[in-house]
Amino acid sequence: MSSDAVPLTKVDSAISGLSSSPPESKIKHRRASSSAAGVYNINDLESEGKELLIAKETQKLNWKLNTSPATLEDKEVLKKFLTTPPVKKIDLHFPLGLEVTARNMKGVTIKDALDAIHKQFKKKADDELELPVLAGFEWDKEESWTRLKVHQKKEGAPTSSGGKKKKNKAGVEEE
């Protein structure tokens, strides 16, 4: 090494001749979150006093909590918003104290709620669940504005009659 070394200088050919600040038209601000227009924060709805309506379709699903929502016959129901107006997130409260949160920046759908519930119950066997079937949701603004109560039931409605005739006590077939 020689003693007359020249100190190194940084040269960037890409910006030579340009001003040091970036052009104003390119960078304005950070990208907004990917929420859709018309989707509310549940806390904003509470402060505005807007009422929530829950999709009635949830009462007719007869969905077992430990099965995947993908097993439902009516796939169109899964795409509907859980509440009107749509919200980004909502807490789902079970009677025994368990609480799960369903989130979707474009509006919580019925599928989002079922996915959140399924995540909690997927490892449970049928006989471990006292009330294994979803009966629906209830919104009680007196208790909590930001939370839906989850109602469960023992069994789902019969999906189809098996074509068998029922026998009465004497063993005679009835029609």
Choice among 52-56, 63-67, 83-87, 170-174 with the minimum mean pLDDT: 170-174
Query: Are the C-beta atoms of 115 and 69 separated by less than 8 Å?
Result: yes
pLDDT reading at 137 higher than 80: yes
Query: Are the C-beta atoms of 74 and 82 separated by less than 8 Å?
Result: no
Alpha carbon dihedral 6, 11, 17, 22, in 10-degree steps, equals -140
Q: Looking at the chain, which runs of residues are DSSP E strands? A: 53-54, 83-84, 89-93, 99-103, 133-139, 147-153
Beta bridge partners of residue 5, listed in sequence order: none
**pLDDT of 35:** 60
Assign 172 a pLDDT band (cuts: 50, 70, 90).
Answer: very low
Q: Which SS3 state, helix, strand or coil, does residue 99 take?
A: strand
pLDDT reading at 18 higher than 60: no
CA distances from 114 to 73, 96, 120 (A): 14, 18, 10
**pLDDT of 110:** 95
**pLDDT of 173:** 47
To the nearest whole percent, how much of the chain has pLDDT over 90? Answer: 48
Query: What pTM did the predictor assign?
Result: 0.69
Q: Which amino acid is at 25?
A: S
